[in-house]
Structure 1
């Protein structure tokens, strides 16, 4: 099975203690041109899609209506996969969701649509009552629509922060609005997201559209793919940064080479964090097949990765004009981090040699911690943290181990006091909370016993420390 792109993606694997794995990861490899960078050019109703990606078929929970009309951007792929996965967690044996048209390979006019031209639009079916699978769009009303299950899909799309509009018939809006209200959602918040129900807030996300009773149409924000349209084609550095951020949204293919210690496919699937059925399907195997040493198994892992996006958002042009420009083909995380202005001394100021040992504080690694998150929490640069501990930026951390945190002399800014708890406001998500309160998503999840995909509702209280 071929990967989603000609190049491989980045994946951090955390092996279980019961097995020793020989994992060959496919690290980020940025090509020497912009051929792999997806570009959403122009408007949804007058635009084009460059290097669009066909919606991946490696995962369960959905079926694509037409592969030739399934091209889109990394941001759309990541957001839709997250939402479908959330439905599967809440309804483990749910039927497949039917996904209709996205865009054509190169974007532009798509027969039957005024929009869908630059990879930002998707027509999505709804779940029918009785867990009845649908192989196409079907007219929906109160008698056949599984409102609760479809609302889980919609609320996970909304909470992603990457949805600009959802277009559907106003009669369907009423069904979802009433269900959400009965489920405890704040009425004021619901009135602000449904245009045709309640107070009719003019900036509402969910809006009426004719001929949308058998599906809903989602228009996404695609910040990196949209930005790519304005990047100078000769600026290889900016292209590399955008592609690095886009990779965070895409599933990652991982190769595992059997070493003879495996007890069978079921235990391997559990250790990889995938289902046995998926592992067999991806490799053309049967559940009772014996794996011989040296056999290469491919599996897919997914989940939005914040670190590449954080890194891309903070990158600046090289400070030294005489420095040889970074070649896109050789860009890697270490090179990019090294070019960050916070990763070393300030330019133009000579560094005085000193033999004095710097005082350190100690951080005990918790499950889910990463070097980037720890550096951000303690307001130190990633390079300084790695240097203090003699480790590489890609190193996997073991829960319970300790790290030295450099003294305040090497910190980029003073630490902020984190409030003990917070009441959620409309539009809040884990990432916005972490940024606003100077903490990390991992810490919020750990303190509140939730995961990254947890549903957040206005009025909820979350612990921050």
Structure 2
């Protein structure tokens, strides 16, 4: 019986290894110049910097995954954001996935996070740093009742709103992804300045964390930027279209079946980076 169990465990471990992408098997960043290469969902990262697992106002969670590497610009941004959050008494911020040591594609969990310019920040905000035991067992805190498409009032507070505002107001930030209900909650709030709301984009799945995406750093020759968000605060028809009650207008012309998109080709620099 013991032999069968061990064989089964070996098979599971072997299967997990086979499923892993080549990027997940690399455990160290490259040395030399730091560069984000390619697009957010089809690229890689040279000369990555690791975010220390704890610092002023933050802790990294699920560190055993080894996903706390980023472009130095991202690491600097995160440190400054958390330090400011601490000074404003927002609380102790929990940082989730950034990127792997050389960026690249994940086998599951993320389509983006490939160039070290994306980072997930949890919306559970403890008042004090977690203990070593707590940091290993802490669970996500949902802000949205997904089934009923409404905010969970007991979990949501001004702390979460101000942390998102603080991040979105930074010029280095290109976009922030949140669940549509969270975007709706932010739109309802009276803000003196609403320009930053343009960067906050609705996207399903982001009900317990928000996803920060930075612009390509200045001088990044091989980094592919994303088209800027449309003008306005995004609190009108665009946001309403995400609601399950939204009824799409009848098309005036018969729908044309879109052609399948070709598979993205990995930048040549990334192939070199992976094999170096």
Structure 1 length-normalised TM: 0.35
Q: Do the aligned residues in 2 keep the contact of 1:124 with 1:216 (CA within 8 Å)?
A: yes
State whether structure 2 residue 180 is matched by structure 1 residue 170.
Answer: yes
Structure 2 residue aligned with 1:71: 69
Q: Report the CA distance between 1:132 and its aligned residue.
A: 9.9
Trace 1:308-319 onto structure 2 (pairs within 5 A).
none
Structure 2 residue aligned with 1:50: 46
Q: Report the CA distance between 1:174 and its aligned residue.
A: 2.1
Secondary structure of the corresponding residue to residue 31 of structure 2 = helix
Q: Do the aligned residues in 1 keep the contact of 2:41 with 2:112 (CA within 8 Å)?
A: yes
Rg: which structure is higher? 1
Q: Do the aligned residues in 2 keep the contact of 1:39 with 1:225 (CA within 8 Å)?
A: no
* Distance in structure 1 (CA, Å) of the matches to 2:122 and 2:219: 25
Secondary structure of the corresponding residue to residue 226 of structure 1 = coil
Query: Which of the numbers 132, 148, 162 marks the counterpart of 1:152?
Result: 162
Q: Do the aligned residues in 1 keep the contact of 2:124 with 2:140 (CA within 8 Å)?
A: no
Structure 2 residue aligned with 1:214: 208
Q: Do the aligned residues in 2 keep the contact of 1:65 with 1:136 (CA within 8 Å)?
A: no
Structure 1 residue aligned with 2:242: none
Instruction: Label 1:74 to 1:129 Cα distance change in 2 as closer, same or farther (>3 A).
Output: closer
* Distance in structure 1 (CA, Å) of the matches to 2:152 and 2:219: 38
State whether structure 2 residue 132 is matched by structure 1 residue 138.
Answer: no
Q: Do the aligned residues in 1 keep the contact of 2:41 with 2:114 (CA within 8 Å)?
A: yes
* Distance in structure 2 (CA, Å) of the matches to 1:54 and 1:97: 17
Structure 2 residue aligned with 1:100: 96
Structure 2 residue aligned with 1:362: none
Q: Report the CA distance between 1:37 and its aligned residue.
A: 1.6
Secondary structure of the corresponding residue to residue 69 of structure 1 = coil
* Distance in structure 2 (CA, Å) of the matches to 1:171 and 1:129: 22
State whether structure 2 residue 203 is matched by structure 1 residue 205.
Answer: no
Query: Which of the numbers 86, 89, 92 marks the counterpart of 1:91?
Result: 89
Query: Which of the numbers 116, 121, 128 marks the counterpart of 1:119?
Result: 116
Q: Do the aligned residues in 2 keep the contact of 1:124 with 1:217 (CA within 8 Å)?
A: yes
Q: Do the aligned residues in 2 keep the contact of 1:64 with 1:100 (CA within 8 Å)?
A: yes
Trace 1:414-429 onto structure 2 (pairs within 5 A).
none
Q: Do the aligned residues in 2 keep the contact of 1:40 with 1:50 (CA within 8 Å)?
A: yes
Q: How many residues align?
A: 179
Unaligned runs of 5+ in 2: 1-29, 144-150, 224-231, 233-276
1:418-452 per-residue CA deviation (whole Å, 9 max, x = no partner) reads: xxxxxxxx9xxxxxxxxxxxxxxxxxxxxxxxxxx
Q: Do the aligned residues in 2 keep the contact of 1:76 with 1:222 (CA within 8 Å)?
A: no
* Distance in structure 2 (CA, Å) of the matches to 1:36 and 1:211: 36
1:171-223 per-residue CA deviation (whole Å, 9 max, x = no partner) reads: 111222333x1xx424xxx2x544xxxxxxxxx31111111101111111131
What is the root-mean-square deviation of aligned Cα atoms in Å?
A: 2.8
Secondary structure of the corresponding residue to residue 144 of structure 1 = coil
State whether structure 2 residue 179 is matched by structure 1 residue 185.
Answer: no
Secondary structure of the corresponding residue to residue 85 of structure 2 = helix
* Distance in structure 2 (CA, Å) of the matches to 1:40 and 1:52: 9
Q: Do the aligned residues in 1 keep the contact of 2:168 with 2:175 (CA within 8 Å)?
A: no
* Distance in structure 2 (CA, Å) of the matches to 1:216 and 1:223: 21
